[in-house]
Amino acid sequence: MKQTDSMIRERILDLKKERSVYIIAHYYQRPEIQDIADFVGDSYAMAVAAKNAPLDTILVAGVDFMAESAAILCPDKKVLSPEPKATCPMANSITIADVQNYKRSHPEAIIVSYVNTPAEIKAVTDICVTSSNAAKIIAKLPQDAPIFFIPDENLGQYITSQLNRPMDMFPSRCPIHAAVTAADILQRKQEYPEADILIHPECAPEVIALADFVGSTAGIVDYAAKSDKNQFIIGTECGIMHRINQVSPGKELILAKEELICPNMKSITLDKILYSLEAMETVISVPEAIRSRAAVALGKMIAYAS
């Protein structure tokens, strides 16, 4: 007999209790996956949740760098990924050689990497940041030091504009956020003139310029929950709408454009999570030589953002 989603969900809930597994999910996950998670958040909150997880086994429902971050911060815990092929094209666009070449030309530079990077890039980084804490962290760095910000280029440009601090940036962008255009926002605003425009800082500068609020996924959720407005144009991946609906029921959410779907995030399903819990696979590990150095950059992020 084919299992229904309800049956799979109940089996997952039983197994995670039986096997003492703590499930962490990103806001961009499918609604049914967010609903079975012990913790749902943005990439920064996921890293902190992994570090503070109360159980010795963590299942990370997110793309590969998120599972790696958990493995980096929790060397004594078992970290599972239900879909190790779920990845991020932006994160994979930069190589160690790119960082090393820049560092040779700018030996005094501080390498600041977005948390959306592979473990080996974090290992050649001075400090990591996320969209929710990048401005706060970079404001604390020595003012006279050059900064190489890797990637997202749009996020880097937004931070530069907020802090009035020039940075060199690696030319790579999130394909989902980069797909949002100013024309998309203006069209939605014409259709919903009373709506507030909530934009992720990975969007292009001309899109950000039209926003009523610019912030991380967690920031967007919080803004919608606290606002007295009832309509919001959402400029980030569609998965966030589930969380907003949970904390702000009854508010109308309009995607900036219909195609804001990350196929890598959505490649994780209840079936894959069930298999991961049954087989206790796939275990994510990071070689110690890389893990120890990457842990320094992630640890600095958590310390500077606190």
pLDDT of residue 1: 47
| Tens-place pLDDT, residues 179-200 | 999 999 999 999 999 999 999 9
Other beta carbons within 10 Å of 251: 15
pLDDT of residue 3: 77
pLDDT of residue 2: 61
Pair 225, 248: CB distance under 8 Å:
yes
Strand order in the sheet with 252-255: 213-214, 196-199, 231-235, 252-255
* Number of continuous H segments (helices) and E segments (strands) in the chain: 15, 12
Other beta carbons within 10 Å of 141: 16
Helices 240-247 & 217-226 angle (0-180, nearest 10): 30
| Tens-place pLDDT, residues 213-272 | 999 999 999 999 999 999 999 999 999 999 999 999 999 999 999 989 999 999 999 999
**Same fold for the pair 91-173+291-305 and 180-255:** yes
Q: DSSP assignment, residue 210? A: T
pLDDT of residue 146: 95
Q: Does domain 180-255 have CATH number 3.40.50.2000?
A: no
pLDDT of residue 172: 96
Q: DSSP assignment, residue 20? A: T
CATH number assigned to the domain covering 5-88+265-286: 3.40.50.10800
| Tens-place pLDDT, residues 164-175 | 999 999 999 999
| Tens-place pLDDT, residues 60-92 | 999 999 999 999 999 999 999 999 999 999 999
Domains in the chain: boundaries:
5-88+265-286, 91-173+291-305, 180-255
| Tens-place pLDDT, residues 96-149 | 999 999 999 999 999 999 999 999 999 999 999 999 999 999 999 999 999 999
CATH number assigned to the domain covering 91-173+291-305: 3.40.50.10800
Q: DSSP assignment, residue 24? A: E
Which residues on adjacent β-strands are paired with residue 128? 113
Q: Is the predicted pLDDT of residue 4 greater than 90, yes or no? A: no
Instruction: Report d(CA 187, CA 305) in Å as an integer.
Output: 37
